[in-house]
Amino acid sequence: MATPLNPLPLDAWREAFEAFLELPAEGRADEDARRAAFERFAALGFPTRRLEGWRFTDLAPLRGTVFEPGAGDRPLDAAWLAPLVDGPRLVFVNGRHAPWLSQLEGLPAGARLEAVPALPVGFDGDDALAALHAAFVEDEARLVLAPGVALERPLHLLLLSVGDGTLATPRVVLELGEGAAATVVEEHRGQGAYWSNPQASIRLRAGARLTHVALQDEAPEASHTARLAVRLARDARLALARVWLGGRLARADLALALDGEGAEATLEGLSLVGDGQTADHHVDLRHAVAHGSSRQTFRAVLSGAARSVFDGTIRVEPGAQKTDAQQQARNLLLSRRAVANTQPRLEIFADDVKCGHGATVGALDDDALFYLRSRGLGEAEARAMLVRAFAAEFVDVLADAGLVGIVRRLEARLAAFLDREGRP
Amino acid sequence: MNLLEIRDLHASVDGREILKGVSLAIRPGEVHAIMGPNGSGKSTLANIVAGRPGYAATAGEVLYRGTDLLALAPEERAREGVFLAFQYPVEIPGVNNLYFLKAALNAIRKHRGEDELDALDFLERVQRKAGLVKMDESFFKRPVNEGFSGGEKKRNEILQMTVLEPQLAVLDETDSGLDIDALKVVADGVNALRGPERGFLVITHYQRLLDYIVPDHVHVLVDGRIVRSGGAGLALELEAQGYGDFGRAGGASRAGA
């Protein structure tokens, strides 16, 4: 509450919130909690750059505008609905489930996939955007796997947002029982100057294995602020892949807790950040017990006046001996106007651990460029080849997971990115 | 017409004059060797011919088949048939060796108005050439030069040369640091390509390579000038006498590191 109120068109926000509460919504019997969440947001105001966690990311595009929850039955671009992965699909439009677009067949016994009204929870911290999420959250995509159940095909969660000034507030909950396994692709896409403010929580019980791909392919004028919280029990394995492509402002706050011994988390990220875009990943990874391991590799390619932010905390709690935690942030700057801010933070309270971090910020290697050109490749082709090389490991991660549809999307976006970059 | 004609070439690197009036003409079918002590300007000459950024001629001209080579971008030179075997081949993580070579060959073929080679035809061609340079096919799948030993890098250069079939190949101290087997591979690669249309400029510090690639002409470059030219015998003479007779013999090699 100590944070001063920012210039926030609060009356207009309040009006939007009251209008939202008036809307007919099945199962919304939680008005008091929503009001409490909204008041929390109103008291905190938008985070400003005076806050440590927001030093490099300016929410100005959001602060002066009032967004409102949008209708769930907007006209959609048919291309968004082309299959991305071969598996069941749950589609949300503007934070609401669109059952006519979802395909839930083919799930094994012991797997429950549903869209349910979400409860306004999780706003008791000092995160204004989490409070706003709780106030406005509508539907929740929920996957629950009973112990030992494995999804053979990847699950596609398609979270669409449409319309200027629309606030989309979807929630995703994934709960994998002991030894359960799944691949889940969470795709964000849309059209217009909307604001998508999603939240996801993942819980992996002992020995569960999850591959979670976040494909953030929001509209160029859109803003995206996401929070993801994960808890891993003993021997659970999590592979996160973050494909970060769209939005003028895209921010993710990832909080991972390795609560069980032998838990393993791998975080791989690739951001393509074009002129005028900001891509921001904040990671808070906590090793609470012994014998955990974590690997983080975040990559960003920047062109024009782009900005990338990576802020990664690794906490190793007392007693979390034999922790093996590594973090890498790599930035490739294709323009002198691009800016990359990386901030590793290691907080280690155990003495028998292996922890490391590294950060690189650099341009394309001149010697490599000349070498390629000296063999006949044009300058644009040589640059493209080196940028692809920078992204290659990440593409391999997706390809190894069999996610060819996402590889194709990424390659198409990369080609367009390089094409724009190549123009003066 | 001369394949390569260098006329009174002057060049500076970082404001220091390195080449002080070099003239040289290579006719099709000829192999020329340039020998000289470290720091004499050998690598600068190679880099100017290949078009490395930062290496600019301050006076004189370089004609390739009668046209101004210096006006062309590095890739245009390559497409016109100029090849530089690097003294220090560059490691390029993430770029597959074979993929790179195929892209290079097809860029050159496209420039010549030829069809691009499909994957199978290309592979067959590379396999044939790889046998010639005794290069294991496991190198095809690895990133360009990454983790290669010094000798493997040089073999890879020669593989590229034999696949791209340049008109003019410049070898910049390709023999440095090679054992005798690797040296023979380099020589075999060059000798296999020798023909009435092709020319070579072989830059070396030691005479040893010239036992295997017998040059038509040998030039001695000292302190940015060609101080003597002769036949293959000149290399042997230098081996016996050293560069001492030509003045400056010291200095450090700076090129391309």
Residue A51 sits at the chain B interface (C-beta within 8 Å): no
* Beta carbons within 8 Å of B227's beta carbon, 6+ residues apart: B220, B221, B246, B247
Chain A residues with CB under 8 Å of B73 CB are 373, 379
Distance from CA of B167 to the nearest CA of A (A): 13
- For the residues B48-76, what does the mean pLDDT come to? 96
Of B51, B160, B256, nearest to A375 by CB-CB distance is B160
* SS3 call for A8: coil
Structure tokens at B237: 């003479």
Distance (Å, whole) CA A105 – CA A103: 6
Any idea what the Cα angle at residue B93 is, between residues B90 and B94, rounded to 5°? 135
Of A366, A349, A371, A300, nearest to A329 (Cα)? A300
* SS3 call for A10: helix
Distance (Å, whole) CA B68 – CA B55: 16
In A118-248, beta strands by DSSP E: 139-145, 155-162, 166-168, 171-176, 181-191, 195-196, 199-204, 209-217, 223-232, 237-244
Region of residue B256 (left: phi > 0; alpha: psi -120 to 50; beta: else): left
Chain B residues with CB under 8 Å of A390 CB are 94
Least confident of A117-126, A304-313, B40-49: A117-126
* pLDDT for res B237: 86
Structure tokens at A66: 């009032």
B90 to A376: CB separation less than 8 angstroms, yes or no: no
Chain A residues with CB under 8 Å of B84 CB are 374
- For the residues A276-289, what does the mean pLDDT come to? 97
- For the residues A136-157, what does the mean pLDDT come to? 97
Look up the pTM and report it.
Answer: 0.92
Structure tokens at B121: 């035809």
pLDDT at residue A173 tops 50: yes
pLDDT at residue A387 tops 80: yes
pLDDT at residue B248 tops 60: no
Count of Cβ atoms closer than 10 Å to residue B115 Cβ: 9
Distance from CA of A218 to the nearest CA of B (A): 28
pLDDT at residue B143 tops 80: yes
Angle between the N-to-C axes of helices B180-193 and B150-164, in degrees from 0 to 180, rounded to the nearest 10 = 10
* pLDDT for res B206: 84
**Residue A148 is which amino acid?**
G
For residue B43, give Cα distances in angstroms to A62, B50, B85, B221: 57, 11, 11, 11
B146-161 tens-digit pLDDT: 999 999 999 999 999 9
Task: Give me the DSSP letters along B194-207.
Answer: --TT-EEEEEESSS
A388 to B75: CB separation less than 8 angstroms, yes or no: no
- For the residues A145-170, what does the mean pLDDT come to? 97
- Does this complex have an ipTM over 0.90? yes
Distance from CA of B92 to the nearest CA of A (A): 6
Of B88, B99, B85, B189, nearest to B144 (Cα)? B99
Distance (Å, whole) CA A395 – CA A410: 8
Alpha-carbon dihedral angle through residues A171, A340, A384, A267, given to the nearest 10 degrees: -40
B107 to A371: CB separation less than 8 angstroms, yes or no: no
Region of residue A286 (left: phi > 0; alpha: psi -120 to 50; beta: else): beta
* pLDDT for res A63: 86
Of A401, A404, A372, nearest to A387 (Cα)? A372
Residue A382 sits at the chain B interface (C-beta within 8 Å): yes
Among B79, B83, B95, B145, the strongest candidate for a mutation testing the A interface, having the largest count of A CBs within 10 A, is: B95
B103 to A381: CB separation less than 8 angstroms, yes or no: yes
Interface of chain B against chain A, CB under 8 Å? 50-53, 73-75, 77-79, 83-84, 86, 89-90, 92-95, 100-101, 103-105, 107-108, 111, 143-144, 160, 164, 256
B41-53 tens-digit pLDDT: 999 999 999 999 9
- For the residues A363-391, what does the mean pLDDT come to? 96
* pLDDT for res A149: 98
B95 to A385: CB separation less than 8 angstroms, yes or no: yes
User: Which residue is closest to B74 within chain A, CA to CA?
Assistant: A374
Cβ–Cβ under 8 Å, residues B206 and B183: no
**Residue A299 is which amino acid?**
R
Distance from CA of B95 to the nearest CA of A (A): 5
A189-203 tens-digit pLDDT: 999 999 999 999 999
Chain A residues with CB under 8 Å of B90 CB are 365, 367-368, 370-371
Distance (Å, whole) CA A222 – CA A179: 38
Region of residue A47 (left: phi > 0; alpha: psi -120 to 50; beta: else): beta
* Beta carbons within 8 Å of A420's beta carbon, 6+ residues apart: A274, A275, A303
Cβ–Cβ under 8 Å, residues B40 and B223: yes
Distance from CA of A84 to the nearest CA of B (A): 26
Residue A270 sits at the chain B interface (C-beta within 8 Å): no
